[in-house]
Structure 1
Amino acid sequence: MANRKNKKVVKFHRMSHLNIGVIVFLIIFVYMLYNIFQYFTAKQIAVYEVTQGTITQNNTFTGVVLREEKIFQTEKSGYINYYSKDGAKVGVSSYVYSIDETGDFYKEIASQNDGQLFEEKGSYDELEKTAANYVLDYSNMNFYHVYTFQYDMEAELLEAIGSNALSNLDHYQGSSAGFHAYLAPEPGIVVYNTDGLENVTVENFTEDIFDAAAHTKNNLLSREQAAAGEPAFKLITSEIWNLVVPIEQELAEDLAKESNIQVKFKKDNSTAWGASRILNQDDNWYLILNFQNSAARFATDRYLDIELLLSDTSGLKIPNTALTKKSFFLIPKEFLTKGGDDNTNGVTRQYEDDKGKTVMEFTAVSVAEETEDMYYITGSGLEKGNVIIKADSNEKYTLEETASLQGVYNINRGYAVFRKVEILFQNQEYTIVNTGTNYGISLYDHIALDSSAMKENEIIR
């Protein structure tokens, strides 16, 4: 018993052991937290890879036809009949219209054609074609086309009646004192509508002629009777005609160097070459196209929808957001030198330090463009008024002249470097720039998608 009471219980303290796994986990966890923090706080730079591309230009326009036109008035009052097809060529021996003061001839012709006009096979073809073209081109935005369709349908019907009446014309002309038939006064293309633009020329037109709704056709064929002095018909007296097309200034500047442009007419998908010139009038830009033929094809049209068949622009395709402008100092080429540890481009800058001592210092520069005798340069620390020294000479040059270049920030090396671009074409989203530009970018280069978020020489993380 005594022995048991004298026994002492000794407690051993456990030695703590470092758990390497826990330490590694903590390090990784802290590292991840740091990277997450960096990701959400650091500036995010989106990168774009330069690709070869094409921008298709939208070159569809509506132009106004201007030509030599003469309106001829009726000499008598009475019922009127026409004998030549609308838009057909006529000579001085061609009957154009007649006036029947009593209405006997008009009634006789109408009764002869009652129910007989369209019995021949294929006689509906022109009417069907006119109706089909109207349906295909219908637009709620251009409701005035309804009146053009009405005019065209009436013209087809009355031309058919007039064609049948022509066979009886010579017989009837001598049998009635109140009947008067008229020949074309001169050769030309006969048209049976007026729109108030007959006297407008390339020299005197104004902006309001492009309002098609305000210049709808006055259909002369739709009348049964005409009063003396009213328009009877008009003649187009020359095969030469002009098409005036309103365009934007940017396109006008591109087309100014062209002398001939190929055009596709939407009416019948035909094409033609027109002599072209650009006109600036009242701060508006117009393309004037001159054609030497095809006047008869579009004789009844005042407004033509056309497509300019211009080549699509190809080159390096970049987003517009990548574009930026930068100002550069211009220096004579002989003032650029080499120096520094990397033998890089630079200039020798002369300045006075705080103690008034003249210091000659090499400053590295980047060259962004060159002309025959000048370099465009930029460099850290260079300011307007700085003096640079020509190598191996005491000749000095003061940094004064500057010029801006358009370009992008190239980030191939992990930091932003300005590279100039030559713009060929641009739309709202993308720009096509020239390939092979000195000091420019190349295919598959990486550039900053948003130039406004970058500064030159900024390191990309």
Structure 2
Amino acid sequence: MPDNKAHSSSTPGILAKLRKIFGLNIGTVMFGAILIYMIFSVILYLTASHMESYQVPSGPLSMNETYTGLSIMTENVVQADAGGYVTYYAREGTKINANGAVYSLNSSKAADSGSSLSKDELADIRSNMQSFSKGFDASKFNSTYSFKYQLNGSILQYAADNSSVSTTNTVNEDGEEVTTTTTTVSSDPNIRRAQTDGIILYSTDGYESKTVDTVTAADFDQNSYQETDLKTDGQVNAGDDIYTIITDERWSLLIPLSEKQAANLKDRTSIRVKFLKDDLTQTGDFSIMEIDGSKYGRIDFNKGLIRYASDRFLEIELVTNNVTGLKVPLSSIVTKEFYAIPSKYMTTDKDTQQSGFMLSGRNKKGNSTTTFINTGIYGRDEVTDEKTQKVSYIYYVDKSKFNEGDAIIDPDSGEKFVIGDTEVLEGVYCINQGYAVFRRIEILDENEEYAVVSKETYNGLVRYDRIVKNADKVSEQDILY
């Protein structure tokens, strides 16, 4: 007969050895359980599909492309007809009338009056310096020298005796403000006057004789561009360049185009241009031309020159993306089928003041009954009766609210409508409330990644709504956070 006492006494010894080897106690068991839970949680997280959210912005499908345009104008450089010291009368960048005083030549240098600049003149110089500093591009360092000469010339011009000069601001037929310089200078033979109307510039850059037909590809190299400031407080000689006058309001901008850009713009005859210098826009005639084997865009204007007369190179934006709305990723777009119900059948429940439809049915006794069904309206389309021209709507209702073949009743006329017509709508899942809700969208334009949708869609999206970016990972009514 086995010795049971001896066997039972050996069990505690084995457990004691196991505890000694593995250190088993309540703390170890709990730690092991937590560790296993954490491992499974990490595995589930890494293998699960993750929802990405997206905040809906407003704007065009893509940004308009920017270009650097070469300005071509009708310009004449005027030389001094004699030697002497120059006194300037016409303000640079303003329009002068024919026979208006531009400058005078004197045999001796005007005495230094020691006068200081006015507050307005100093403010103007500071403003110009700030504008240059903000727009400075290290790759176009040569522009620093042009600005230096421009600044020196402005100071000289401010310091000149302009007591006989007046300026008039007028608004032309296009709504532009134009500053015209006039003078009350006497018939002093030292005064030199403009031969024609035009815009006065006290600089040259070698492009004055260029026309659209004579421009070369090398003319677009801004690194080799040099501008010479003509304003001086020294003596000039006969034949020296004194000023440039622009004699025609018509001017052109030439922009280099890639083959792709040229293909996209080939059918245009006019184009809207935004000038980045002042953010003003105007429309010009557009055509594509070839210069030294490359494609260039030509934009012809008949106004606005006075704002940019001193700029040989202009940074512009071609306003080609006119379709604006709410921008959503294509990966957010889903489709859903709805029942289509005429709006005349919608009613309001007297007790709850909720909108819905009256469902027709029968009770167990076979008597006719009506049941109010509260439904959300996911979209609507306008319908115009051809005979009466009366406008009504088609409402789109969630299919889970009815069965095909159900009949609803117009409470006013008693007319019945059998549910069965369906419509597939495009939409996205809005998650503003933490769960996925279908919102209808109406696409205006799209590319490979994004679509621009209307802001006016009934019960649709609004700016800053949060939607699901990867809609294939989510189902409607999923609680996401």
Q: Is the 8 A contact 1:94 1:184 kept in 2?
A: yes
| Correspondence for 1:70 among 66, 73, 76 | 76
Equivalent in the alignment of 2:234: 224
Alignment of 1:24-173 (within 5 A): 55-100=61-106, 102-103=107-108, 106-108=109-111, 111-112=112-113, 114=114, 116-118=115-117, 120-164=118-162, 166=164, 170=185, 173=188
What is the rounded CA distance, in whole Å, between the counterparts of 1:431 and 1:158 in structure 2? 56
What is the rounded CA distance, in whole Å, between the counterparts of 2:446 and 2:240 in structure 1? 52
Cα distance, 1:431 vs. partner?
5.8
Equivalent in the alignment of 2:297: 287
Q: Is the 8 A contact 2:287 2:299 kept in 1?
A: yes
Q: Deviations over 1:173-216 (max 9, x none)?
A: 47xxxxx2211011111111100011111111110111123222
The 3-state SS of whatever aligns with 1:239 is: coil
Cα distance, 1:152 vs. partner?
2.6
What is the rounded CA distance, in whole Å, between the counterparts of 1:194 and 1:425 in structure 2? 47
Pair 1:240 & 2:240 matched = no
What is the rounded CA distance, in whole Å, between the counterparts of 2:266 and 2:64 in structure 1? 18
1:81–1:292: structure 2 CA closer, same or farther, 3 Å change rule? Answer: same
Cα distance, 1:58 vs. partner?
4.8
Q: Scaled by the length of structure 1, what TM-score is found? A: 0.53
Q: Is the 8 A contact 1:79 1:225 kept in 2?
A: yes
Q: Deviations over 1:141-165 (max 9, x none)?
A: 1111212221331232122123536
The 3-state SS of whatever aligns with 2:298 is: strand
What is the rounded CA distance, in whole Å, between the counterparts of 1:84 and 1:156 in structure 2? 12
What is the rounded CA distance, in whole Å, between the counterparts of 1:94 and 1:172 in structure 2? 12
What is the rounded CA distance, in whole Å, between the counterparts of 1:444 and 1:136 in structure 2? 41
Structure 2, unpaired ranges of 5+: 1-55, 166-182, 332-444, 454-468, 473-481
1:198–1:247: structure 2 CA closer, same or farther, 3 Å change rule? Answer: same
Identity of counterpart residues, as a percentage? 25
The 3-state SS of whatever aligns with 1:164 is: coil
Pair 1:267 & 2:266 matched = no
Coordinate RMSD, CA, aligned: 3.9
Cα distance, 1:57 vs. partner?
3.5
Q: Is the 8 A contact 1:68 1:238 kept in 2?
A: yes
Equivalent in the alignment of 1:193: 203
Equivalent in the alignment of 1:278: 288
Cα distance, 1:172 vs. partner?
9.9
The 3-state SS of whatever aligns with 2:147 is: helix
1:165–1:74: structure 2 CA closer, same or farther, 3 Å change rule? Answer: farther
Cα distance, 1:170 vs. partner?
4.8
Alignment of 1:203-214 (within 5 A): 203-214=213-224
Q: Is the 8 A contact 1:188 1:238 kept in 2?
A: yes
The 3-state SS of whatever aligns with 1:238 is: coil
Q: Is the 8 A contact 1:239 1:292 kept in 2?
A: yes
Q: Is the 8 A contact 2:287 2:298 kept in 1?
A: yes
Cα distance, 1:445 vs. partner?
10
What is the rounded CA distance, in whole Å, between the counterparts of 2:184 and 2:451 in structure 1? 69
- The count of corresponding residues between Structure 1 and Structure 2 is 279
1:223–1:144: structure 2 CA closer, same or farther, 3 Å change rule? Answer: farther
State the one-letter code of the partner of 1:117: S
Cα distance, 1:289 vs. partner?
0.7
Cα distance, 1:243 vs. partner?
0.5
What is the rounded CA distance, in whole Å, between the counterparts of 1:242 and 1:169 in structure 2? 35
The 3-state SS of whatever aligns with 2:128 is: helix
State the one-letter code of the partner of 1:242: S
What is the rounded CA distance, in whole Å, between the counterparts of 1:191 and 1:434 in structure 2? 46
Q: Deviations over 1:291-326 (max 9, x none)?
A: 11111111111111111112167999779xxxxxxx
1:95–1:308: structure 2 CA closer, same or farther, 3 Å change rule? Answer: same
What is the rounded CA distance, in whole Å, between the counterparts of 2:286 and 2:267 in structure 1? 10
State the one-letter code of the partner of 1:125: A
Q: Is the 8 A contact 2:204 2:229 kept in 1?
A: yes
Q: Scaled by the length of structure 2, what TM-score is found? A: 0.51
